[in-house]
C-alpha cells in the first residue's frame, strides 16, 4: 500500500468536529491500488474498479411490456375504436414477422415487436375474436412497448467505478452479459481488543474480568464491508507488548483497529504503544458517546484506536473507521443512512458536540416513525443497542429537544445490515 507520512492526521484544534475528522481521514489516505478480475457470481459486496460501460443496449430489442396485441399506431382511426385483422402470435423468445397493413399480432410480455409495429394494446383493454381485434381510442404511439436501450443505452455508464456491487448491481451486470468484473482489492483489516480485564468467551472468567465483546461487534460490522478482516485477539495493558504487536500487524494489514486504552489515564497504553511503534495523533472528538480516539501511522499503515466502551466503540467505528475503510477500498463515499422521525422526549445537551441518543421506533400517526428515548444512557450498556432500534442524531448546534421535534435517526437495521 501507499506509505503514509507520519503527520498525515495532524490537527491543530482541541475538540475536533465529526465531519472534520471524517474529511481528514478520507482525504489524507489514498485508496489501495490495483484491480482484480473476478467471476460475476463472486463479486457481491465488492467495489467496482472502473465504470461499467454498457456493451449492449438494455433491453436488447424492442419488445412488448404487456400481454396484448401489437400494431402500427398509424393504422388507428383518429377518434373511433379500430378493428384490426388478427394475424400472427408472438411469444417470448419467438421471432416476429412484420405486420401487414391494418393488422395486429397477438403478443406476450417480453416478446419481440414486429419490426413495423410500435404500439401494444393490453389484452384487458381490447376485444378480440378469432380473426380480429378491436382497439379502443386513446392509446399513445409507443404505448406498452419497450424500445431497445430504453433502460440502459449501449455505450452509456451502467455502473460507476466505486460502486458497491449489491443485489441490483449484480442483476444489471448479468443483464448486460458480463461474466467477469474488475473489482478493487479488499483492505486487510486487523482487529485487536486491549485490556487486562478482558477474557475470550470460552475461557474461565477471573474475578475482575469481563468477556471481550468489542472484537465481535467490530468483526460483525466489518463483515458488511468489502474487507478482509482478521481477528488479532486481546492485547494486555502493556505499552511494549502492544507496540510490538501493532508493529508486526502493521506489515500485514492495510488498517489496524483497536478498542480500549485511548483515554488519558495512566492505564491507557494504546496511545503510548502507537507513539512508540510509529506516530500518534490523539483526537478529542466532538461526539458523545465516543470522545477519545487515537489515530496513528505505523510503518505506513493507519491505526485507529477506538474507545473501549462498547457503545462509544460502535459510534466511533461508524464515523472514523467506516469512512476510512470505504476510502481504502476505493468505494464512493457513502453517507450513513439517516431518516426522519418524530421524537417524543425532552432532552438537553451541550452545544458544539454531536450526540447520539439510543431510541426505539414505533409507527406514528402522521406517517413518520416515533422515536422514544431508551431510558438509560451509559456508553457501556451493551443491551441498549439490542433493545433499541436507532440512534437519534442531535447535531452540534442543538441544545434542547422537545417532544414532537423532528429528528434524524440512523436505524440499526441499515447500520448493522440486518
Ligand atoms: P478503556 O477505554 O480501556 O478504559 O475501557 C473503557 C471501558 O470499556 C472499560 O469498562 C472496559 O472494561 C470496557 N472495554 C474495553 N474494551 C472492551 C472490550 N473489548 N469488550 C468489552 N468491554 C470493553
Ligand atoms: Mg482498557
**pLDDT, averaged across the chain:** 95
Domain membership of residue 11 (yes or no) is no
Q: Which of 291, 308, 383 to mutate to test the pocket of ligand 1 (most atoms within 8 A of CB)?
A: 308
Model confidence at 196, pLDDT cuts 50, 70, 90, reads very high
User: Where does ligand 1 bind, in terms of residues with CB under 6 Å?
Assistant: 193, 195, 197-198, 210, 212-215, 259-261, 263, 307-310, 380
> Do residues 248 and 256 lie in contact, with contact meaning Cβ atoms separated by under 8 Å?
no
β-pair type (400-401, 354-362)? unpaired
Domain membership of residue 333 (yes or no) is no
Check whether residue 28 and residue 42 sit in a common domain.
Answer: no
Check whether residue 324 and residue 216 sit in a common domain.
Answer: yes
SS3 129: coil
Interval 375-388 mean pLDDT: 94
Check whether residue 44 and residue 175 sit in a common domain.
Answer: yes
Q: Which of 272, 304, 309 to mutate to test the pocket of ligand 1 (most atoms within 8 A of CB)?
A: 309
Check whether residue 84 and residue 177 sit in a common domain.
Answer: no
**Ligand 1 nearest atom to the CA of residue 262, by list position:** 2
Q: Is the pLDDT of residue 14 over 80?
A: no
Domain membership of residue 80 (yes or no) is yes
Q: Is the pLDDT of residue 111 over 90?
A: yes
Q: Is the pLDDT of residue 13 over 70?
A: no
Model pLDDT, residue 12: 57
Domain membership of residue 70 (yes or no) is yes
Number of domains present in the structure of the chain: 4
Ligand at minimal distance from the CA of 381 is 1
In tens, the pLDDT along 71-93 reads 999 999 999 999 999 999 999 99
Rounded Cα distance between 316 and 333, Å, is 17
Domain membership of residue 45 (yes or no) is yes
Q: Is the pLDDT of residue 209 over 80?
A: yes
Ligand at minimal distance from the CA of 306 is 1
Check whether residue 309 and residue 366 sit in a common domain.
Answer: no
Interval 360-384 mean pLDDT: 95
> Do residues 326 and 278 lie in contact, with contact meaning Cβ atoms separated by under 8 Å?
no
In tens, the pLDDT along 162-186 reads 999 999 999 999 999 999 999 999 9
> Do residues 336 and 393 lie in contact, with contact meaning Cβ atoms separated by under 8 Å?
no
Model pLDDT, residue 2: 56
Model pLDDT, residue 3: 65
Domain membership of residue 5 (yes or no) is no
CA distances from 377 to 189, 313, 384, 388 (A): 30, 15, 8, 12
394 preceded by cis ω (within 30°)?
no
Check whether residue 179 and residue 46 sit in a common domain.
Answer: yes
Domain membership of residue 104 (yes or no) is yes
Check whether residue 371 and residue 277 sit in a common domain.
Answer: no
Nearest residue (CA) to ligand 1, atom 5: 308
Check whether residue 110 and residue 169 sit in a common domain.
Answer: no
Interval 328-340 mean pLDDT: 96
Give the CATH number for residue 363.
2.40.340.10
**Ligand 1 nearest atom to the CA of residue 212, by list position:** 20
In tens, the pLDDT along 225-262 reads 999 999 999 999 999 999 999 999 999 999 999 999 99
Domain residue limits at 51 = 37-58+150-183
Nearest residue (CA) to ligand 1, atom 11: 308
Rounded Cα distance between 273 and 264, Å, is 13
DSSP per residue, 279-338: EEEEEEESEES--EEEEEEETTEEEEEE-SSHHHHHHHIIIIIHHHHHHHTTPPP-PPP-
Ligand at minimal distance from the CA of 314 is 1
Distance between Cα 310 and ligand 1 center (Å): 7
In tens, the pLDDT along 135-166 reads 999 999 999 999 999 999 999 999 999 999 99
Share of the chain above pLDDT 90, in %: 89
Domain membership of residue 267 (yes or no) is yes
Model confidence at 264, pLDDT cuts 50, 70, 90, reads confident
Give the CATH number for residue 118.
2.170.190.11
Last residue of a domain, one of 121, 146, 171: 146
In tens, the pLDDT along 345-371 reads 999 999 999 999 999 999 999 999 999
Q: Is the pLDDT of residue 11 over 70?
A: no
Interval 16-26 mean pLDDT: 90
Check whether residue 194 and residue 268 sit in a common domain.
Answer: yes
Cell of 25: 481521514
Check whether residue 396 and residue 358 sit in a common domain.
Answer: yes
Buried b (16+ CB within 10 A) or exposed e, 72-96: beebbeeeeebbbbbbbebeeeeeb
Give the CATH number for residue 307.
3.40.980.10
Q: Taking Cα atoms as reference points, which of 123, 16, 117, 25 lies closest to residue 67?
A: 123
Nearest residue (CA) to ligand 1, atom 23: 308
Give the CATH number for residue 44.
3.90.105.10
Check whether residue 140 and residue 244 sit in a common domain.
Answer: no
Amino acid at each position: 500500500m501507499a506509505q503514509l507520512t507520519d503527520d498525515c492526521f495532524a490537527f491543530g484544534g482541541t475538540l475536533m468536529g465529526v465531519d472534520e475528522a471524517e474529511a481528514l481521514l478520507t482525504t489524507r489516505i489514498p485508496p489501495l491500488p490495483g484491480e482484480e478480475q473476478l467471476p460475476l457470481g463472486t463479486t457481491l459486496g465488492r467495489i467496482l474498479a472502473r465504470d461499467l460501460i454498457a456493451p449492449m443496449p438494455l433491453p436488447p430489442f424492442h419488445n412488448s411490456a404487456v400481454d396484448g396485441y401489437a400494431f402500427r399506431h398509424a393504422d388507428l382511426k383518429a377518434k373511433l375504436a379500430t378493428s384490426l385483422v388478427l394475424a400472427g402470435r408472438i411469444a417470448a423468445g419467438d421471432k416476429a414477422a412484420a405486420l401487414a397493413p391494418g393488422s395486429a399480432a397477438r403478443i406476450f410480455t417480453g416478446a419481440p415487436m414486429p419490426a413495423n409495429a410500435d404500439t401494444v394494446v393490453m389484452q384487458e383493454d381490447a376485444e378480440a375474436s378469432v380473426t380480429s381485434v378491436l382497439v379502443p381510442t386513446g392509446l399513445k404511439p409507443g404505448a406498452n412497448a419497450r424500445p431497445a436501450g430504453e433502460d440502459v443505452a449501449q455505450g452509456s455508464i451502467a455502473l460507476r467505478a466505486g460502486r458497491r456491487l449489491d443485489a441490483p448491481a449484480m442483476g444489471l451486470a448479468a443483464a448486460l452479459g458480463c461474466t467477469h468484473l474488475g473489482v478493487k482489492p479488499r483492505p486487510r483489516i486487523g482487529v485487536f481488543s486491549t485490556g487486562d480485564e478482558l477474557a475470550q468467551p470460552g475461557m474461565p472468567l477471573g474475578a475482575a474480568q469481563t468477556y471481550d465483546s468489542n472484537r465481535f461487534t467490530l468483526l460483525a460490522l466489518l463483515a458488511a464491508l468489502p474487507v478482509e478482516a482478521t481477528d488479532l485477539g486481546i492485547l494486555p495493558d502493556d505499552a511494549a507488548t502492544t507496540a510490538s504487536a501493532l508493529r508486526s500487524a502493521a506489515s500485514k494489514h492495510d488498517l489496524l483497529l483497536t478498542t480500549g486504552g485511548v483515554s488519558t489515564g495512566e492505564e491507557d497504553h494504546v496511545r503510548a504503544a502507537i507513539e512508540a511503534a510509529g506516530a500518534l495523533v490523539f483526537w478529542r472528538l466532538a461526539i458523545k458517546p465516543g470522545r477519545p480516539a487515537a489515530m496513528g501511522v505505523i510503518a505506513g499503515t493507519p491505526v485507529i484506536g477506538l474507545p473501549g466502551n462498547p457503545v462509544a466503540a460502535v459510534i466511533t467505528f461508524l464515523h472514523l473507521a467506516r469512512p476510512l475503510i470505504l476510502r481504502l477500498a476505493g468505494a464512493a463515499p457513502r453517507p450513513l443512512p439517516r431518516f426522519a422521525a418524530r421524537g417524543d422526549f425532552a432532552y438537553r445537551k451541550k452545544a458544539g458536540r454531536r450526540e447520539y441518543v439510543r431510541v426505539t421506533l414505533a409507527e406514528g400517526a402522521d406517517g413518520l416513525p416515533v422515536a422514544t428515548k431508551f431510558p438509560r444512557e451509559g456508553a457501556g450498556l451493551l443491551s441498549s443497542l439490542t433493545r433499541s432500534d436507532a440512534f437519534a442524531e442531535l447535531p452540534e448546534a442543538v441544545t434542547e429537544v422537545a417532544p414532537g421535534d423532528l429528528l434524524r435517526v440512523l436505524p440499526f437495521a441499515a447500520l448493522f445490515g440486518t
